[in-house]
Structure 1
Amino acid sequence: MYYSRKYWAGLLFILGMGMIVLHYGYRLLAMILPIVFKLSQLDMNLYNSINSRIYQISNNGFEALLIIFILIIFTLVPWLAKDLLSGQLRRDFLSDRFTKSLIRYVPMESIKLISEEEKRANWWIRKGRIVKKHGKLVLKIPCSNNAAIIDIIQRRCDGYANQWLAQNYPNSNWNSIEIKHGLFITWLYIREK
């Protein structure tokens, strides 16, 4: 849940803003439209027709967004409970701390190619995550199939990753870094022994 917080938090924010706009936007239009119609000396029957149509759209839209908002909340609560009970929420917090410690600042004055590879390595490192697989903890960091980026990430992880994992998971022993090449993506794994 914490790992994909940007997506669901963004979705909830957009839905909330949509509900606010629909609710208060109608009230604002209901205050402005009569003034515009009176100043323009337009037919008030047309105003009543437009006002009722805007009210319907606003009301129906608000109710639809509210239903979607409630459904998402009812989906997030069991997800949170599952992550809490399985320990994945804690692992996601630790993964976030670990990946932030591996990210390096890339000065703009450096050579363009090197800085681009460093930025791409930072981007891939942010996707790293500690998960439980077959009863064992695994730190997995995706990489592109670019050898330079893989080398950068591997150099950043050498020594530091095992030390960090041993410190945060004192009852576990960790293997060295494994590189697994896939069809489209390469993964760096550090598995619990």
Structure 2
Amino acid sequence: MYYFRKWWLGLLFVLGVGMIVLHYGYRLITLVLSIVFKFSQLDINLYNSINNRIYQFSNNGYESLLIIFILIIPVLVIWFILNVTSGQFKRDFLSDRLTKSLTRYVPTENVKLISAEEKRANWWIRKGRIVKRHGKLMLKIPCGNNAAIIEIIRKRCDGYVNQWLAQNYPNSNWSPLEIKHGLFITWLYVREK
């Protein structure tokens, strides 16, 4: 859950903003329309017809978003409980700390190819995650298929990652860094022995 926080927080933000816009936007639009119709001396029946349509759209949209919001909250609570009980929440939190320590600052005024590769390496490193597969812990970091980026990430991880994992998971022994090439993406793995 912690790993996907940008997605579900973004979804909740969009739903909240949508509900606010539909709820208070209707009032603003009716206020503006009443002023326009009053000063333009247009037909009041047309105003009532437009006002009813806007009210129905606003009310139906607000209720739909409210239902979606109410359905998402229990899913998020259940997801949180499952993550906490399985230990994945803690692993995601530690993964975030590890990936932040592996990212490097790249000055924006430097527009060389090396700078672009370093930025891309930072982007891939942020996707790294500690997971539990078949009862064993595993750190996996995607690298794309660019050999220079793979080498940058491998150099950053070499030695440091095993030390960090041994320090944060003292009861586990970790194998050396492995590189697995796939069809479209290359992965760096550090597995628990």
Provide TM-score, normalisation by structure 2.
0.97
Amino acid at match of 1:68: I
Per the TM alignment, residue 27 of structure 1 is displaced from its structure 2 partner at its CA by 1.2
User: Match of 1:53, as an amino acid?
Assistant: R
Equivalence for 2:129: 129
**Alpha-carbon offset, residue 38 of structure 1:** 1.1
Q: Which residue of 2 aligns with 1:66?
A: 66
Partner of 1:112: 112
Change (3 A) 1:113 1:58: same
Q: Percent identity?
A: 77
1:10 maps to what in 2? 10
| Distance 1:15-1:102 versus aligned 2 partners, 3 A rule | same
Give me the whole-angstrom Cα distance separating, in 2, the residues matched to 1:126 and 1:29: 43
1:33 counterpart residue number: 33
Q: Post-superposition shift, 1:114?
A: 0.7
Instruction: Give the distance between the partners of 1:77 and 1:103, measured in 2 at CA.
Output: 31
Aligned residue pairs, count: 193
Deviation at 1:111, TM superposition (A): 6.4
For the residue of structure 2 that corresponds to 1:170, the secondary structure is coil
Query: Displacement of 1:77 after TM fit?
Result: 1.1
Deviates more, 1:91-100 or 1:74-83: 74-83
Q: Return the alpha-carbon distance in structure 1 between the equivalents of residues 4 and 124 of structure 2.
A: 15
Q: CA deviation at 1:107?
A: 2.4
For residue 150 of structure 1, what is the amino acid of its counterpart? I
Structure 1 runs (4+) greater than 6 angstroms displaced: none
**What is the DSSP-based 3-state SS (H/G/I as helix, E as strand, rest coil) of the residue aligned with 1:54?**
helix
Q: CA RMSD in A?
A: 1.1
> How many angstroms does 1:50 deviate by?
0.8
Deviation track 1:37-85 (CA, whole Å, cap 9, x = no partner) reads 1110001111111111111000000001111111121211111111010
CA deviation after TM superposition for structure 1 residue 30, in Å: 2.3
Unaligned runs of 5+ in 2: none
Q: Which residues of 2 match residues 41-120 of structure 1 at below 5 A? A: 41-108=41-108, 110=110, 112-120=112-120
CA distance in 1, matches of 2:25, 2:150: 51
